Protein backbone atom coordinates (compact mmCIF):
# COMPACT_ATOMS: atom_id res chain seq x y z
CA UNK A 1 0.00 0.00 0.00
CA UNK A 2 1.59 3.30 -1.08
CA UNK A 3 2.09 6.08 1.43
CA UNK A 4 1.51 9.67 0.29
CA UNK A 5 2.24 13.10 1.74
CA UNK A 6 -0.32 15.75 0.78
CA UNK A 7 0.32 19.43 1.44
CA UNK A 8 -2.28 21.36 -0.58
CA UNK A 9 -5.64 20.82 -2.21
CA UNK A 10 -5.52 17.05 -1.54
CA UNK A 11 -5.72 17.69 2.22
CA UNK A 12 -8.97 16.94 4.06
CA UNK A 13 -11.60 19.62 3.51
CA UNK A 14 -9.80 21.15 0.52
CA UNK A 15 -11.12 21.25 -3.06
CA UNK A 16 -9.38 17.99 -4.14
CA UNK A 17 -9.82 16.21 -0.79
CA UNK A 18 -8.09 12.83 -1.05
CA UNK A 19 -10.93 11.08 0.78
CA UNK A 20 -13.59 12.53 -1.53
CA UNK A 21 -11.53 11.57 -4.60
CA UNK A 22 -11.35 7.96 -3.40
CA UNK A 23 -15.09 7.88 -2.70
CA UNK A 24 -15.98 9.35 -6.13
CA UNK A 25 -14.02 6.56 -7.81
CA UNK A 26 -15.27 3.72 -5.59
CA UNK A 27 -11.82 3.20 -4.10
CA UNK A 28 -11.18 2.25 -0.48
CA UNK A 29 -10.81 5.26 1.80
CA UNK A 30 -7.22 6.28 2.54
CA UNK A 31 -5.95 5.79 6.08
CA UNK A 32 -4.74 8.97 7.74
CA UNK A 33 -1.52 8.33 9.66
CA UNK A 34 -1.26 11.94 10.89
CA UNK A 35 0.47 15.21 10.23
CA UNK A 36 3.99 15.46 8.90
CA UNK A 37 6.48 17.95 7.49
CA UNK A 38 8.98 18.03 4.65
CA UNK A 39 11.82 20.48 4.06
CA UNK A 40 10.83 22.88 1.33
CA UNK A 41 9.27 26.12 0.22
CA UNK A 42 5.57 26.58 -0.54
CA UNK A 43 4.27 29.00 -3.22
CA UNK A 44 0.84 30.40 -4.07
CA UNK A 45 -0.40 29.51 -7.57
CA UNK A 46 -3.79 31.07 -6.79
CA UNK A 47 -6.15 28.15 -6.32
CA UNK A 48 -3.45 25.70 -5.24
CA UNK A 49 0.07 25.65 -3.81
CA UNK A 50 3.32 24.33 -5.22
CA UNK A 51 6.07 22.76 -3.14
CA UNK A 52 9.72 23.18 -4.03
CA UNK A 53 11.75 20.58 -2.15
CA UNK A 54 14.68 22.24 -0.41
CA UNK A 55 16.70 20.59 2.36
CA UNK A 56 17.82 24.05 3.55
CA UNK A 57 14.31 25.49 3.90
CA UNK A 58 11.77 25.41 6.67
CA UNK A 59 9.12 22.77 7.17
CA UNK A 60 6.08 22.47 4.92
CA UNK A 61 3.07 20.96 6.71
CA UNK A 62 0.91 18.19 5.36
CA UNK A 63 -0.73 14.88 6.09
CA UNK A 64 0.45 11.31 5.55
CA UNK A 65 -1.93 8.65 4.27
CA UNK A 66 -1.75 5.02 3.31
CA UNK A 67 -3.70 4.71 0.06
CA UNK A 68 -4.89 1.90 -2.18
CA UNK A 69 -2.80 1.34 -5.32
CA UNK A 70 -5.91 2.17 -7.36
CA UNK A 71 -5.90 5.73 -5.97
CA UNK A 72 -2.48 6.65 -7.44
CA UNK A 73 -3.77 7.15 -11.02
CA UNK A 74 -6.54 9.36 -9.61
CA UNK A 75 -3.97 11.48 -7.76
CA UNK A 76 -1.82 11.67 -10.90
CA UNK A 77 -4.86 12.91 -12.82
CA UNK A 78 -5.68 15.56 -10.20
CA UNK A 79 -2.06 16.74 -10.28
CA UNK A 80 -1.96 16.40 -14.08
CA UNK A 81 1.05 14.07 -14.02
CA UNK A 82 1.19 12.06 -17.24
CA UNK A 83 3.93 9.57 -18.19
CA UNK A 84 6.29 10.89 -20.84
CA UNK A 85 4.99 14.48 -20.64
CA UNK A 86 6.56 17.53 -19.06
CA UNK A 87 4.10 18.74 -16.43
CA UNK A 88 4.03 21.30 -13.62
CA UNK A 89 3.91 18.67 -10.89
CA UNK A 90 5.95 15.48 -10.76
CA UNK A 91 5.43 12.47 -8.55
CA UNK A 92 8.47 11.53 -6.53
CA UNK A 93 9.43 9.69 -3.40
CA UNK A 94 10.86 11.57 -0.43
CA UNK A 95 11.31 11.15 3.31
CA UNK A 96 8.99 13.29 5.42
CA UNK A 97 9.00 13.73 9.20
CA UNK A 98 6.09 12.03 10.93
CA UNK A 99 6.00 11.35 14.67
CA UNK A 100 9.70 12.10 15.02
CA UNK A 101 10.72 9.58 12.34
CA UNK A 102 11.56 9.75 8.66
CA UNK A 103 8.81 8.08 6.60
CA UNK A 104 9.15 7.54 2.86
CA UNK A 105 6.18 8.93 0.94
CA UNK A 106 5.11 9.80 -2.56
CA UNK A 107 4.47 13.50 -3.06
CA UNK A 108 3.94 16.02 -5.85
CA UNK A 109 6.48 18.88 -5.93
CA UNK A 110 7.16 21.51 -8.60
CA UNK A 111 10.46 22.85 -9.93
CA UNK A 112 12.20 26.00 -8.76
CA UNK A 113 11.68 27.53 -12.22
CA UNK A 114 7.90 27.14 -11.94
CA UNK A 115 7.66 29.49 -8.93
CA UNK A 116 10.00 32.28 -10.06
CA UNK A 117 7.39 35.07 -9.97
CA UNK A 118 5.00 33.65 -7.36
CA UNK A 119 4.46 34.71 -3.74
CA UNK A 120 5.99 32.43 -1.14
CA UNK A 121 3.71 31.04 1.55
CA UNK A 122 5.44 31.89 4.80
CA UNK A 123 4.76 29.35 7.52
CA UNK A 124 4.59 26.42 5.10
CA UNK A 125 0.92 25.54 5.72
CA UNK A 126 -1.39 25.87 2.69
CA UNK A 127 -4.65 25.40 4.63
CA UNK A 128 -3.87 28.10 7.23
CA UNK A 129 -2.58 30.43 4.51
CA UNK A 130 -5.58 29.90 2.21
CA UNK A 131 -8.08 30.48 5.00
CA UNK A 132 -6.36 33.72 6.07
CA UNK A 133 -6.02 34.90 2.45
CA UNK A 134 -9.66 34.12 1.62
CA UNK A 135 -10.91 35.79 4.81
CA UNK A 136 -8.87 38.94 4.07
CA UNK A 137 -10.26 39.06 0.51
CA UNK A 138 -13.89 38.76 1.64
Amino acid 136: pLDDT: 86
* Reported confidence tier of residue 13, pLDDT bands at 50, 70, 90: very high
Amino acid 97: pLDDT: 97
Domain that holds residue 114: 3-137
Cβ count within 10 A of residue 47: 9
Write the CA distances from 110 to 30, 53, 65, 107, integer angstroms. Answer: 24, 8, 20, 10
pTM: 0.94
**Angle CA 26–29–32, to nearest 5:** 160
Instruction: Give the model confidence (pLDDT) of 73-123 as tens digits.
Output: 999 999 999 888 889 999 999 999 999 999 999 999 999 999 999 999 999
Amino acid 118: pLDDT: 96
Amino acid 86: pLDDT: 86
Catalytic site residue 92?
A: no
Q: Work out how many domains the chain is built from and give that number.
A: 1
Catalytic residue among 14, 77, 79, 93: 79
Assign residue 89 the CATH number of its domain: 3.10.490.10
Amino acid sequence: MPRVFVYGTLRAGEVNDLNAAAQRHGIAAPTLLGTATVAGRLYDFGSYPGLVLDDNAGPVAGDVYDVADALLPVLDEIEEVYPGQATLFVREERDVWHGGHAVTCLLYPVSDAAVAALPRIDGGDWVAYRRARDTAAA
